[in-house]
Structure formats: structure tokens, C-alpha cells
Chain A
Amino acid sequence: RPPEDREEVRRRLMGLIEGNRVMIFSKSYCPYSTRVKELFSSLGIGCNILELDQIDDGANVQEVLSEISNQKTVPNIFVNKVHVGGCDRTFQAHQNGLLQKLLQEDSAYDYDLIVIGGGSGGLACAKEAAILGKKVMVLDFVVPSPQGTSWGLGGTCVNVGCIPKKLMHQAALLGQALHDSRKFGWEYNQHVRHSWETMIEAVQNHIGSLNWGYRLSLREKSVAYVNSYGEFVEHHKIKATNRKGQETCYTAAKFVIATGERPRYLGIQGDKEYCITSDDLFSLPHCPGKTLVVGASYVALECAGFLAGLGLEVTVMVRSVLLRGFDQEMAEKVGSYMEQHGVKFLRKFVPVMVQQLEKGSPGKLKVSAKSTEGPETIEGIYNTLLIFVISDPCTRKIGLEKIGVKINEKNGKIPVNDVEQTNVPYVFAIGDVLEGKPELTPVAIQAGKLLARRLFGAASEKCDYVNIPTAVFTPLEYGCCGLSEEKAVEAYKKENLEVFHSFFWPLEWTLAGRDNNTCYAKIICNKLDHDRIIGLHILGPNAGEVTQGFAAAMKCGLTKQQLDDTIGIHPTCGEVFTALEITKSSGLDITQKGC
């Protein structure tokens, strides 16, 4: 079947769904369809009915309908553009009052939903709402960084976050692989150099294709995409300003704020003129050379890690702890591995001034820093200064005050209730702008999808922010799920916990001659609850891949006993979790002995 055909059917169906207060897709002989028709007629509500068995392309329509609604069967009922479901769902909606509510809704607005911010969360929410038959607009506008860097649709993750960083991390891992490969018998010229330009071009090409893919998928789902800066001007009304400064206003019944965050500068002399942030690094046209990374967030350490892996001289300046919020034992191990692999750490220093010594690509910068503990000051010369101190939510310049949406004045974050609703009932927020929620792409996507389903799809499932797994792609990857040891002690008290831990030596590392007491795994069990696992941490290759499945198991209430009963997959790193025997409290030695 040619796709134009399909597109045509889809348009026809969307027209029916959008143009009718009640739209029933039915089959004339279907008893369930009859029951639904009777229900609406008993309510005295006129409805439009399409009998699939009486039209030529009924099967085709049913297929496209299942794409639109995720429902394969008839009857398939839409009320005021909202997909209600089949017969059972409709009667259920009638009983719990949802149907009446839907029938009362009137769309006096241009759109059912306007999403501000075209990042992972915003796009997921917009697309899901569109799938549910809603008229949706996405406003996305990237304010160029002080260095003039700008990018396409898709938000932080795709453009200046997860995607480019994982690709550059991969580039660094491949550098390590090249090194290892000789021990595994590969032979080639010793002289290997890395071309920053080639890597950036490849990475940016991939990002370009993703930007394009997002545009396409919005178009496919009939979401209006406007590349303009959105700002509330009054209730239900937003002003969109494009690159040329032209302004247009749009109204909508509901709004979702998904504007995310942008890196903050230090506010010291010379920083905005000479320093770059993660906004700029991934598209930097020239190799950054000798680099000072300021900050120790996961992004900071990831970037420092891959820059060092590409052969650059890298120093990390840290005010206090590494990977704040993460398990500190793991964080220190991440740091010490980096230190062993050539990254210098300057602990307890903060930069106070940046001066340019030489222009160029890269130029030369003099950085002055002072100790956080005393009067000591130091100076250093670097080619590039990368700042990863903190990110600010993009919430202060979008007119929230005009409609009374409250933000936390201190950090700019938006407080919401458990259904992501702000204090203004028709305004919702998801992703990194939220107060106290994990700043992770998959979380934003999940929250966005579920929000759309609750708003427009008669669903009730809320986003569960507990036991969210994540991975830090430092040279030695760190994956975790659940609580850090510190948080666990805080929540459950030390005496109620048992921590099992072990070093392990990935098989691939043996021939490569890499350290055997580096990779590390630990689990934290709650003794009061059948040794249920409340925290799982692993430091080793492919930590992200390893952690994911265990996170699924933790969703099912994983206990230590179940872990012990599981058979390992040999030889992998993941199997270490099935053989954890030594408790931390025993104080027994967990180091691996040599040959």
C-alpha cells in the first residue's frame, strides 16, 4: 500500500475525529458497537458513526485507526477529539463521569495543547497528545550561547547532552580499544593520532539527522512546530517571537512547560568572553587543546574523561565533592580511575579571573583560582576553559509571572504536584525545570507521555520517580539504581542495612593488562524487608547496559535471595551481582589477587 494512500486515510480519519463531537468507528454487525450507539442515543447525544464493514477500505481504515489510537478493535470511540476507547471503556467513562466531562469540553482555543520547549520531554508529550487526536503546537527556540552556538530541534539530550557526549565517550573508548587491540594480536603502524575535526563532523552529522527526524515525526503526527520563542502574555495566551523578531500570538486550553535548563556562567571576570560550556563543546570547530574543566557534575567528569581519552591534557577544578547526589564511595572511585588515567584534579579551588593571553583556535588563557579553605591562590595557562558549574532552568523569561505560575525564586525550578500540574491548573511542567526530580531524558519522556495520556486519553497512570536507573559515562562507566549508601543510611539507619560488595576483573581487561582492582559492584539491602535491594551500583565497562535489566528487576521488588538464586551469564561483568558474598560490615578483603 503506497504511503500517500495511508496518509490520505489518516487525514480523513483525523478530520472525522476532529470535526465531530462524538465519533464512533463501528461495524454494523458488532454487538458491542450497538451497545455504545444505544448508550449515546439514550443520553440524547448525536454522534457520527462510520461502519467499517460498509466501506471499501474498511480494513485499511482499521489499521490506520489502530495507529492513531493504539486500539485495534471496534467500536472505537472519540469524544471531543479524545480517544475514549472501546465499549467497556466508554461505559466505564460514563459511570465515572469522565464522558460527561469530555462532552462538556469546548475548544474556544487555537490549540488543545501548546508545549513550550522541543526537548525529549516536550516532544514526547506533544506527540502522544497528537496521537490521542489533539491539536498540538510545539514552540522551540534555542537562544544562542554567549559563544554564539545554536542548534536544532530536540533539546539538550540530542544536541548538547547525552547523544554527543556518548559518541565522544565512544571515541575515547575506541582509543582505548586501539591500545588493547595490539595485545589481542592486531598489528599496525604505532603512530595513531586523533582528528578532532573528523569526530565533530561525524557527531554533528548524526545530530543533524536526528533534528531532521524530529521535524519529520512532528509533521507525521500533525503537530504544529514553530521555531519561535514562547512567552505567556495573558491567561491561555502565548506570544511567539521568531528569529526575525516577528511576533504571533496563540491560545490553547492547556500548556506544558518543558523548556529545560542551560548552563550558568561563573560571574567572574572574563568568563563569558573566553570560556565555553557544554553548549559549545560538542560543536567546537577546533580541538580544545589543554583544557581546564571547572565543576564535578556528571557532565563535567564525562567531558573531562573523553577529552583525556582523546589524548588531551585535562585538569578538573572542583570546589567540593565529585558527582554530588551520587553515592560518594562510587564517585571517589570514578575520580581516582580518571586520575590514574591522566586527568589532573585541583580540589577545593574556584576560579576567580580569566584573561586571554593569545587569540587563536584555540587561544591561550590565564586562569587565576583561589582556595576555598585559605588565602592560597594559583594560576594556570590553558587553551580552553570549560565550565560546568550549575544549570539554570529556563523559566524566568517566559512570562510565567503574567499568568501567576509559581517558581522557586531561589533556583528557578517549577514546583508541581504528583500529576506534574503547577499552581495554575491548566499549566503543567515536565523535565529538567521540575523541582526535585531527576534530570534525565528517559524520565522526561516517560513523564511527558504519561501526562498526555492523563490529559487527553482517559488514563490515570502517574510517572513513578522512584528507582530510576542512570549511568555516568566516565572513562570507567558508573551505573546505579535506587539509593546511594548515604541516602540509604539516612532513610533506614545503618544497622538495618547490609551492603554487599566486590571488585571484579572484566575478562577483556585481563589480556589488555588493566588493573584488576578497579571495577566494583555493590548492593544495599534493607534487612528489615527481606533483604530487599534498595540501591545497586556498578563501576565497570558497559555499566549502563548492565544496570538497565537490574533496574527492571528492582521494579519487581528484587531481594538478595533472588539475586543469589539467579544464574550468571558467563563470562560477563553483570554476573558479578549474582555472586556477591562479602558484606562491608564483615570488613573482609575484597581485592582480587594476582596470578
Chain B
Amino acid sequence: MAAAMAAALRGPGARFRWRQLASAGGARGAARGAAGQWDYDLLVIGGGSGGLACAKEAAQLGRKVAVVDYVEPSPRGTRWGLGGTCVNVGCIPKKLMHQAALLGGMIQDARHYGWEVAQPISHNWRKMAEAVQNHVKSLNWGHRVQLQDRKVKYFNIKASFVNEHTVCGITKDGKETLLSADNIVIATGGRPRYPTHIEGALEYGITSDDIFWLKESPGKTLVVGASYVALECAGFLTGIGLDTTVMMRSIPLRGFDQQMSALVTEHMMSHGTRFLRGRTATRVRRLPAGRLQVTWEDCVSGREDTDTFDTILWAIGRVPETKSLNLEKSGVKTSPISQKILVDSQDATSVPHIYAIGDVAEGRPELTPTAIMAGKFLAQRIFGQSLTLMDYDSVPTTVFTPLEYGCMGLSEEEAVARHGQEHVEVYHAYYKPLEFMVPGRDASQCYIKMVCLREPPQLVLGLHFLGPNAGEVTQGFALGIRCGASYAQVMRTVGIHPTCSEEVVRLRISKRSGLDPTVTGC
């Protein structure tokens, strides 16, 4: 009851629906048992987290399944194996490089804890990159084996629709294969966007598709954009000792709580990342020595300025991989604005037996675990008895910036917009992680806030945590909030001492009170 109420209160209201729940559940009688007139019961286009999860689940349910996956090389020629963005050019390599940067901080801390580390300390990009890439390759291999184990047929081909049940695949060498299936799931994800209107952007810039696969250190780097990808990359580059600048046009971490976002960038600035705000790049040129000269413009004054970098990383957003699919042949409709595929609450597209999950689907959070769960549930709905829908609300996530930011539920702005300032109570605290004390680390951005409804029992609408291990801290609370936790219930939880997460159960000061939210003593 409480949970349902919570969902209702947090939910954004009715979602776009293409049709009634016509093909809900497992009642797909025609193709039950065998693949019938089609080669496969299920064809999944895209071997990323969501696609693979869906394929494996369907195979587990005894279905004949194929996955087609093809990585179009990036403009710089970077390519990778099975597993999609998360494994190859996303969560995994980025968290490992984030860890490398954190370890740099720990080496500094270690002195204060008695470890005598001789100078100089330097970082070897090549060594890190090789280790990271080897790990990614082992994961690629693991995904291949898992498909094999579950008897999912895997094709390394680039797919496009021929008709609503048939897909044509082309191999690297141009060989064509036709595959037909009763059900088709599109899970092709997205790729970084290039600002092609900027002179030199495509020729000289790289994206997150390339950064993790660079053999040599990127050197002095300009990161353009203020998405979480941009800030995470800038964060770890700074952390391993590179001269790093972030250029952004407007606000950091759009869509996230803006107070938290401001603290994230403030922390990055105090740790050496440079920020150029309110600027847009206008052109990139290669200097004779090979370095890159970037020119930008101040959005307000229009004044131009320029600097030289070794690497330019575009992190200005992502575009869905829908162009090469020949969707018009299948009848699947996309959003004219985002190019993403329009889906209903069942993940079905405008064509009932074609589904879309993950980053390619309109209105979905672009997160690996969401895609995985959506993929599993989808397979269970198509082939099992399940009716379970994916609940896209209140998805927890963490931004792995140098000071990590974990969040769940509504931002303060969103809560106020939905419920009104008068009905929202925000509890907050600035705290000091114990481990920061000995090395004298600055904790001025370690901050927590819990956004609640003001009326008792003060249902928790959102939780925002900035500090070390934010992901680990947030996960459990995410669950509590889903279960419909109230502020009072969270406060009745006894802390685990001494941890950072115990500060969450000790949030006593409301913003409204105007009292000092700095935590002192135990």
C-alpha cells in the first residue's frame, strides 16, 4: 500500500501508449513451441546489456534465439567486442579508470597513515589502459561463452530490416544473411554525438568510444560537455595527473539535482579540473606539431579565445543507433526529435511483435541495469507467463565523478515542481568522512539531502548523496525508498559506525529551519 502510494506520488503520470494491452502476457499461441514459419522465436538486434539479457532469458525459457551485434568503428577507427557500451566504452572501463584516479588519491593519503612512499610518483597510461582493455576483452569472451552455453545463436553482422519479420545482416566482408523471427527486439543503444557543424570536430576530436581504448596518454585534454560522461572522464583524467579542462555551455548534469551538480563541479575545480563555462567551441585545427588548437566563443559576449590541447573529447550527448536499421521497412516509428524508437509500457513499438529496450527506446533512462531488467522482463512477458512490467520510476544511479554522487528518486527541483514548495521538506547535512580526517582532506562538498513530503509520515521522495562510495551507500536506501520508506522510518534505523552512510540515518536538520547543517562529533 505504502509502496503503491509512493509510486503514485513519484510517478510522472500516465505514459504515452500506442495501444491497449492487446498482446500482453504469454498468449502468443501461433508461434508457441517451435519457431514455426520463422527462423527464430526471437531475434535480438544489439548485443549490449539489455539485448543479451533478453536473449538469454528467452533461451532459458526454451526458445530459439539469435543475437546480431556489430560495432561500427568510431570515426577514429576504434572498435570492440560483444557486450555493448557498458562493457566496452561505458560503465566498466570508466569505473576502472575512476578507480585508478582514486588510487592516486590514496597514495597521497597513505603518507598520512604512516606509509612512506618515495617520490616521484607518476602514472603510466599505457599500463592502465592495457589492464583495463584486457579486462574488457575477458568480459567480451565471457559474453560469447554465455550465449553459447544457453544455445543462443550469435551473428557478428550489421542488421537492417527487410520487412517486419525479416532482417538482413552484412558481415565485415560484405556477405549477406537473411534472418527471420516471430519477435524482434531492438536494443542497438546509442553512440556519442559529434558536433559535426564545428570545423575540425570530426577529424581531430575523439569521444567516449575512443578514450578507453587509447594506447597512449591523451595528454592535455579538453572535454566538451557537462553530461555525466563528460564530468566522469574529466574527473579521472585530472585524477591521474593530466591537465584537464571542461568546456560547457550551460549547466552541469542536466536532469540531476542542481544543488548537488554544483557541488560536484565545485569539488572537481578544487581538485584541479579547469572549467570554461558559458563557452561553445567554434573550430579545431591541427597545428604543425600535431597539437590541437581549439577556438571557442563566450556565449554572452561573443568574444573568442583559444588554447592548445593534445586531445579533444566530445561528450555532448548521444544519438540512438536507429539510422542504419532501415526501420521504415519494418514500420517501426521513431520520435522525429530524438530519433529514438517510440515504445509503450510493454516495450512494444508501433509494430506489436517488434520491441525496443535500453538506450534506443524513447523516454527510458540510459542505464545498464535498467536495460538488463527491462530485457529480462520483456522475454518473460513474450515467452513466459509473466505480466510484470518494468517500473522505470525511482531508478537509483551514481555518477562516478572524483567525489561520487549517488541519487534516487526526485531532485529537489522536481519535487517542488510536482508537490509545491509548501509540501516538500528537505533534510540535509554536510558531513566529514572519518577517513578524510587523518590526511586532512577537504570535505566541504560531502553533502547529503533527503527530499520528503512535508505531511507526516513524510514519505521520502528522493535521496542525494555526495561522498566516497556513493554507489554502495545509495543502493540499499534505493530499496527502502521503493518500499515506501518515510523519513521517520529512515531515522529509526540505527547507524553503522563509523561509516558515511550512517549520516543518512542521522539527517535531522531541515532546510526550512535555516539551521546550520554541518555535522559535528559523533
Contact = CB atoms under 8 A, between A and B. Distances in A.
Interface of A: 63, 66-67, 72, 120, 154, 157-158, 162-163, 166-167, 170-171, 174-175, 177-178, 180-181, 183-189, 191-199, 202-203, 206, 209-210, 213-214, 217, 310, 440-443, 445-446, 464, 468-471, 479, 507-508, 510-511, 542, 544-553, 555-558, 562-563, 565-575, 577-578, 593, 595
B433 to A, nearest CB: 10
Most buried by A among B99, B398, B406: B99
Contacts of A441: 497, 522
A184 B100 contact: yes
B103 A542 contact: no
B131 A210 contact: no
Contacts of A183: 131
12 contacts: A167-B438, A177-B106, A188-B119, A198-B114, A202-B114, A546-B476, A547-B501, A548-B473, A549-B478, A552-B477, A565-B482, A568-B369
A218 B110 CA distance: 34
A569 B406 contact: yes
A166 B498 contact: yes
Contacts of A573: 472
Interface stretch (B152-160, B327-335, B487-495): B487-495
A572 to B, nearest CB: 4
Interface stretch (B62-70, B134-142, B300-308): B134-142
B282 interface: no
Nearest to A438: B494
A570 B395 CA distance: 11
A312 to B, nearest CB: 12
B475 A577 contact: yes
B107 A181 contact: yes
Given A210-B521, A571-B91, 11 more contacts: A170-B438, A171-B115, A178-B110, A178-B115, A178-B117, A181-B106, A189-B118, A199-B113, A550-B480, A568-B475, A570-B368
A221 B508 CA distance: 17
Interface in B465-517: 469, 471-480, 482-485, 489-490, 492-502, 504-505, 513-515
Given A186-B121, A210-B521, A170 B477 contact: no
B496 A511 contact: no
B205 interface: no
Given A189-B117, A511-B96, A546-B472, A184 B131 contact: yes
Contact of A570 (B91, B116, B117, B496): B91
B95 interface: yes
A432 to B, nearest CB: 13
B243 interface: no
Contacts of A570: 86, 91, 367-369
B489 A556 contact: yes
Contact of B483 (A63, A177, A553, A567): A553
Interface in B33-71: none
Contacts of A158: 522
Contacts of A189: 117-118
Q: Tell me if A's interface is mostly helix, strand, loop or mixed.
A: helix
Contacts of A464: 492
A544 B504 CA distance: 13
Contacts of B128: 184-185
A196 B114 CA distance: 6
Interface string B76-103: 0000000000100001100110011001
A441 B499 CA distance: 12
A167 B437 CA distance: 9
Given A202-B112, A550-B479, A187 B485 contact: no
B461 to A, nearest CB: 15
Given A183-B131, A567-B370, A551 B117 contact: no
Contacts of B118: 188-189, 191-192
A203 B438 contact: yes
A574 B471 contact: yes
B124 interface: yes
Contacts of B20: none
A105 to B, nearest CB: 28
Given A177-B103, A511-B135, A546-B475, A569 B493 contact: no
B115 A479 contact: no
Nearest to B111: A198
Contact of B398 (A468, A511, A555, A569): A569
B106 A163 contact: no
B106 to A, nearest CB: 4
A595 B141 contact: yes
Given A162-B498, A194-B116, A443-B494, A174 B522 contact: no
B96 A507 contact: yes
B95 A192 contact: no
Given A178-B106, A551-B496, A206 B472 contact: no
A185 B125 contact: yes
A548 to B, nearest CB: 4
Closest 6 CB pairs of A and B: A549-B476, A185-B128, A574-B475, A199-B114, A548-B501, A550-B476
B92 A571 contact: yes
Given A542-B469, A546-B475, A567-B369, A479 B116 contact: no
B4 to A, nearest CB: 12
Nearest to A217: B521
A572 B472 contact: yes
A553 B100 contact: no
A565 B391 contact: yes
B497 A175 contact: no
A549 B473 contact: yes
Contact of B485 (A542, A552, A568): A552
B476 A184 contact: no
A464 B494 CA distance: 9
B495 to A, nearest CB: 4
B332 to A, nearest CB: 26
Most buried by B among A193, A440, A542, A570: A570
B520 A217 contact: yes
B254 interface: no
Nearest to A206: B437
B167 interface: no
B122 A187 contact: yes
Contacts of B478: 549, 566-567, 569
Contact of B522 (A157, A508, A547, A568): A157
B435 interface: yes
A511 B132 contact: yes
Most buried by A among B368, B495, B502: B495
Given A193-B116, A571-B91, A573-B472, A545 B499 contact: yes
A548 B104 contact: no
B301 to A, nearest CB: 40
B28 interface: no
Contact of A549 (B112, B142, B498, B501): B501
B183 interface: no
Given A185-B100, A195-B114, A507-B96, A552 B476 contact: yes
